Structure 1
Amino acid sequence: MANISPKASSFLHSNQYVLALFFGIIGAIVNLYPIELAFSIALVIGNTAYILAASFLRPGLTLLCALISVIPLYFYWGHPFGFLTFGLEAWFISMLRARGWYVLTADLLYWLLIGMPLTALLILSNMEFAQSFMLFSVLKQAINAMLYTSLACILLFTFNDYFQSIKSSQPPLVKSLPKWLLYSFWSISAFFVISVSLVLSTNFSEFQKAQLEKELEINNNYITHIGNSYLNEHQQAIENIAYQLSNISDLTERQKALSKFHNLYPGFLTMLIATEQGEIELASPNSIMEKLVIGQFSVVDRPYFIYAMEEQKLFVSDVFLGRAFGNDPIVAISAPVYSNNGAKAPSGIVEGSLNLGKFGLYDKIGHDEKLIKTIVTDQNDRIIYSSDSLQLETLSQFTYEDRSYKNSSNLISLKLEESEGEMFIHKQTQLMNNWKIHSLIEHKFSLKNIEDLYLVMFLTLFVTLLTASFFAKRFAIHLSRPLRFVMDELSKGKETGDFRDVPYETPKEIQKLYQELKVNRLALLKNQKELQNQV
């Protein structure tokens, strides 16, 4: 501001409408670059402009300045509520400033009585995705307001001569020394306490984000390794049993071999041997054959039968719901069986229905499910397995909305039964068969520690302001006491010049002023005496 040309400065001073527009545009430019803390949550500094404007513009023009400053935040947040909360703030501060309040105390009063409750109400009624971290949002708004308001106060101190030259619509502030010191202490203390706390909390947030991403990566690597091993092991098992069955012709021996293999590989819900015509010949466990009704003995229409017979290769089906063997999601692994190992055409197939619910066992062993959620999807993005707490329907399509922003490229929202648009930190990897592992951590968990930090910051700020109030009062007493002594001494009008020295620790400026006042007082008394003698 000090570099504004004299003509431009004179024009701004005389035209307060242009001044409101000027400060509004400055605030809008600064608000183009908010400091991001989390999804849709950012610190804004540009609001400093309308706090400055409130010091010398009437409420209507201060409101205009605020509305201009908040325009970039509308596009950043995607909602117009900033116009309401910040517009009310500007108008409220300007109104109280006209009544002789300091802008910092007026702003503190606004956020305690109006701003914080209004922000909470807007979140509850309009922003469901933000309700899980509402306390964080509300505390952030109040702390952010104290930051840019204290910054405005410091600018008013620093460039006081310039701002004093502006034609003001506000009355001059005439306050006692204790109140003036309190205002000064509050402004400086609030700015530096919040600034330091924000730097520390931002660094902690970055550290926490790195740790959470590492946790997700570890979980992905673990589930991927287990998943690949699980599938490979059972595919190899089907190839082995197919080879053994090709050397066995007796049905009783085949049943024994099938049951033995099933006991060795309990991951298979069921195992069966089907004939060349697609009729189930043997099964494990044996009780399944008793439960089958007419029409359920044939698997001739199943892909695992058709592919194994025609291609004579190991086949792994897509995920499907079992038929006659329960309603769990399974994947069928099949291989051709020959009447003897030298035969060219298969005499049937052996098939195992692999229980995909085993992923849940590995999921729970791998970590605390309260922290990390796991979703396994097939190549078509259908849900094979999901952590119980997510309550997602098996074999439903896994869909999510990308919520990435500059500081977090892996944020998504899911539509769950309990809430719309639940936010998660997301990391994905892929199995060798193109199935995908999705590891998730609730976004509100990552914000919880930061929320606690902001609560501590808010309490620290409150204690700091109380402490500043105490010291401001003590300093005011310390500074005003020598001045009161000087006034008392001079008012006695001693003609002898026998004034007492100030008996307190006193700045040399006050000592010098005292000496000058004594000389002037004595000269005045001498002149009065001479006039009396002449009369």
Structure 2
Amino acid sequence: MLTKEKLINKLKSPELYLYGLLFGCLGAITNIYLTFDLYGQLTLHLGQSFVLFCLLSRGFSCALIAAAITNGSLWYLTDNPYFFLTLNLELLFLGLMLRKKFWLLSADIIYWLLIGLPITYTILLFANLPADFNIMILSKQLLNGVMYTIIAIALNYFAPQVTTSSLPDRKREPLSKIIFRLSVVTIVLPSLIIALSLTQKSVSQFERTTVDKLFNHATELETIIEQYIVRHQVAIDALASTLNYQLSTDEQQKLLNNYLALYPGFISMLIANSQAEVTHGAPNSFYQNYLKLPKNEHLVTDREYFKYPKETLTPYISKVFQGRGFGSDMIIGISSPIIINDEFQGIAEGSLNLPKFGEFEYELLGDNPNEFILILDSNKKVIYQSMPEKEMVDGFFEALTQERAPNAKPFEIVIDGKKYLYQVTENERGWQLFVFQSSDVITTLITDNFYVVLLSLFTIIVLFLFLARTVSERLTTPLVQFIEQFSQLDKGMKVNLPADSPAEFAFLTKKINHAHNLQRNYQQHLASEVEEKTKQLQHLNFELELKARTDGLTGLLNRNSFDELAENSFQLSQREKLPCAIAMLDIDHFKKVNDLYGHLTGDTCIITLAEKLKAHFKRNTDLIARFGGEEFIVFVKGDEQQINEKFESYRKLIEKEIFTHEETLFQITVSIGVCHLSPNATIKLVEAVNLADEQLYHSKANGRNQLTGQKIS
């Protein structure tokens, strides 16, 4: 009866509702604004710590009010009633275990292992999530429970003024338990925060690294594809140029077959006359099938790869289309006009097989099963895809049209309920190149870290349990002995303290002073060493910076340094209206030199050419760099004639140079491409470099060992 009346009076107390509202609001604010985000929607919610603090300091009834507010805010925030269910069950379980004299942390761990995690796992099974993701969520829930429970215990220890005297008296705990619990709280909580912070940092770093890697792969893929197309465009241009000479029908067919053998990327090649009639085709099997088509389908009049070269007398690269006659693959047509005596005589065309992009994927990604690509043309049509499941393509387009989650990152996408990281680049043809990677690698990383944290926590708790008992015995045993000795003495008699007590304190003081002196001397010595090491480091940094700006083999500028310095000189020339030029130089047949005489001899050739370049172009305004491999790039100021004479002089100098390998003498030559820029030229430096590279290509194509130049007004 007394207990019932006491309960009724307690429920009528304004303090109950005041404190319940206070702790509930603190918990709700913590859940909303003080979350600990690990990855994506994987978040630690710590509002429950105020509910458990209320349980320890104000009792179960007050904690029920706080839990209703705190967990209700979490339900509202996540739109998930799961939290309201499990966290309120947790409070009921902990209230019962506290009555049975269990420690709050051990009771909470028992709850999650026996009740909370099984309920969570059952709910996750209905969500059809991957097994790794389920394990990660279960580990996170256990860590979350341990974390907010320790926070509640710490608040109860370090905020004793909130504790009420109305709670029932409890049996006093032995010193070993007090030391153990304080040790766990003061060590485990910071350790847990640091471990989770490091986990978050490592996950973020790993995510950034992964995204950067995907972007690099997308960019490399774009470059490889562009080089692939350009290489075949050059081949078609060369074929058309050869066909400018009047060849017989058999010679033309033989030439076409040879080009198809040299460039297997073409699924088919053809020659059409000025009336759009296909006169030759390769391979022969495809051409024979083509001849079997109706006469009205023998003409390619409606094809842009015929109309455009005919109208403009320039090469053409088509958009993606489906083949006709030679197959049904996705292809692009590359064509070039055949011009004889300034008159259009037809075209040479090659149908480039796009499904061969799979070879590029293997070259770029290897056998990585977690990474795949998707290539779309300018009309969002799939050119190539290597997704693990064909249905994922539809899921990808559906994901693009769906509204993204508020906290979704720009490089994340959810396809058929599974998260992927991706990066995309778009080339000048409007193609979009996507590179994807499953987020399972990040999930595995988080789960592994959680395992390490949980194992570490268990080890720490066991270790402190042992240490607490040991320390307690060493502290209490002398104290008990002293009290027993003191209690046996008569009044007025002197107490005989242990003889070693004062000596230990004196010894400790002496050691502390000695340690302080050692520390002070060490700091002075350390400051001196730091100053000396700083000077050495500054000198080393200077040397490293110098090495970073130069090519290790030749001592010339490297490409990055050249780009920076040449850009400044180029802009200065434009401001002062001074003529200048960019030249690209390349050793002819350098691969043959390496193959015949070895790479060391090849390096000797490169060094010799670099030294003669430095001797030949030694003005302060001349910039020379090793562009890559056997290529060099030079920025010079001056008019066209002077520059051409100087480069022609250099070319002849190299032509006469004799190199040796063992007892063999040999010579090398260089091809040069120059882009001259008049004072009024308005193009950018990178465009001038590309034009010089084109002129170098012309020098190569026209027989090598020569200079080809172009002037931009």
Sort the TM-score into its range (normalised by shorter chain).
0.7 to 0.9
Is the CA contact (8 Å cut-off) linking 1:376 and 1:438 kept in structure 2?
Answer: yes
Alignment partners' CA distance in 1, 2:233 and 2:456: 61
Larger CA deviation: 299-308 vs 329-338: 299-308
Aligned to 1:190: 188
Is the CA contact (8 Å cut-off) linking 2:373 and 2:433 kept in structure 1?
Answer: yes
Alignment partners' CA distance in 2, 1:368 and 1:451: 26
In structure 2, the CA distance between the partners of 1:324 and 1:131, relative to structure 1 (3 Å rule), is: farther
Is the CA contact (8 Å cut-off) linking 1:59 and 1:95 kept in structure 2?
Answer: no
TM-score (norm 1): 0.79
In structure 2, the CA distance between the partners of 1:388 and 1:64, relative to structure 1 (3 Å rule), is: same
Aligned to 2:363: 365
Larger CA deviation: 387-396 vs 454-463: 387-396
In structure 2, the CA distance between the partners of 1:80 and 1:234, relative to structure 1 (3 Å rule), is: farther
**Alignment of 1:423 onto 2:419:** yes
> CA-to-partner distance for each residue in 1:466-524, whole Å, 9 max, x for gaps?
111112222333344346546756787x65777986769999xxxxxxxxxxxxxxxxx
Determine helix, strand or coil for the equivalent of 1:353.
strand
In structure 2, the CA distance between the partners of 1:88 and 1:275, relative to structure 1 (3 Å rule), is: farther
In structure 2, the CA distance between the partners of 1:274 and 1:118, relative to structure 1 (3 Å rule), is: farther
Q: How much does 1:227 deviate?
A: 1.6
Is the CA contact (8 Å cut-off) linking 1:220 and 1:428 kept in structure 2?
Answer: yes
Alignment partners' CA distance in 2, 1:217 and 1:236: 28
- Consecutive unaligned residues of structure 2, counting only runs of 5 or more, are 1-10, 503-713
Q: How much does 1:464 deviate?
A: 0.7
**Alignment of 1:95 onto 2:96:** yes
Is the CA contact (8 Å cut-off) linking 2:236 and 2:349 kept in structure 1?
Answer: yes
**Letter of the structure 1 residue corresponding to residue 377 of structure 2:** D
Aligned to 1:42: 43
Determine helix, strand or coil for the equivalent of 1:468.
helix
Determine helix, strand or coil for the equivalent of 1:437.
strand
Alignment partners' CA distance in 1, 2:61 and 2:246: 95
In structure 2, the CA distance between the partners of 1:294 and 1:486, relative to structure 1 (3 Å rule), is: same
Q: How much does 1:248 deviate?
A: 3.7
Aligned to 1:328: 329
In structure 2, the CA distance between the partners of 1:465 and 1:240, relative to structure 1 (3 Å rule), is: same
Superposition RMSD on alpha carbons, in Å? 3.6
Aligned to 2:445: 449
Aligned to 1:30: 30
Determine helix, strand or coil for the equivalent of 1:427.
strand
Aligned to 1:82: 83
**Letter of the structure 1 residue corresponding to residue 308 of structure 2:** A
Alignment partners' CA distance in 1, 2:353 and 2:151: 62
In structure 2, the CA distance between the partners of 1:120 and 1:274, relative to structure 1 (3 Å rule), is: farther
Alignment partners' CA distance in 2, 1:75 and 1:326: 59
Aligned to 1:287: 285
**Alignment of 1:220 onto 2:218:** yes
Q: How much does 1:163 deviate?
A: 2.0
**Letter of the structure 1 residue corresponding to residue 280 of structure 2:** L
Determine helix, strand or coil for the equivalent of 1:379.
coil
Aligned to 2:384: 385
Determine helix, strand or coil for the equivalent of 2:343.
coil
TM-score (norm 2): 0.61
**Letter of the structure 1 residue corresponding to residue 458 of structure 2:** F
Alignment partners' CA distance in 1, 2:372 and 2:161: 59
In structure 2, the CA distance between the partners of 1:12 and 1:291, relative to structure 1 (3 Å rule), is: farther
Q: How much does 1:457 deviate?
A: 0.8
Aligned to 1:471: 467
Alignment partners' CA distance in 2, 1:12 and 1:441: 60
**Letter of the structure 2 residue corresponding to residue 27 of structure 1:** G
Higher relative contact order (CA 8 A, sep 6+): 1
Larger CA deviation: 397-406 vs 327-336: 397-406
Aligned to 2:693: none
Alignment partners' CA distance in 2, 1:60 and 1:247: 101
In structure 2, the CA distance between the partners of 1:424 and 1:192, relative to structure 1 (3 Å rule), is: same
* Pairing 1:30-179 to 2, within 5 Å after superposition: 30-33=30-33, 34-56=35-57, 59=60, 62-74=63-75, 77-126=78-127, 128=129, 131-164=131-164, 167-168=166-167, 172=170, 174-179=172-177
Aligned to 2:574: none
Larger CA deviation: 495-504 vs 257-266: 495-504
Alignment partners' CA distance in 2, 1:171 and 1:108: 25
Q: How much does 1:311 deviate?
A: 4.1
In structure 2, the CA distance between the partners of 1:92 and 1:482, relative to structure 1 (3 Å rule), is: same
Alignment partners' CA distance in 2, 1:63 and 1:247: 95
**Letter of the structure 2 residue corresponding to residue 206 of structure 1:** S
Is the CA contact (8 Å cut-off) linking 1:270 and 1:353 kept in structure 2?
Answer: yes
Q: How many residues align?
A: 486
**Letter of the structure 1 residue corresponding to residue 399 of structure 2:** Y
In structure 2, the CA distance between the partners of 1:161 and 1:132, relative to structure 1 (3 Å rule), is: same
Alignment partners' CA distance in 2, 1:24 and 1:38: 27
Alignment partners' CA distance in 2, 1:483 and 1:280: 109
Q: How much does 1:394 deviate?
A: 8.0
Percent sequence identity over aligned pairs: 26
Aligned to 1:15: 15
Aligned to 1:242: 240
Aligned to 2:258: 260
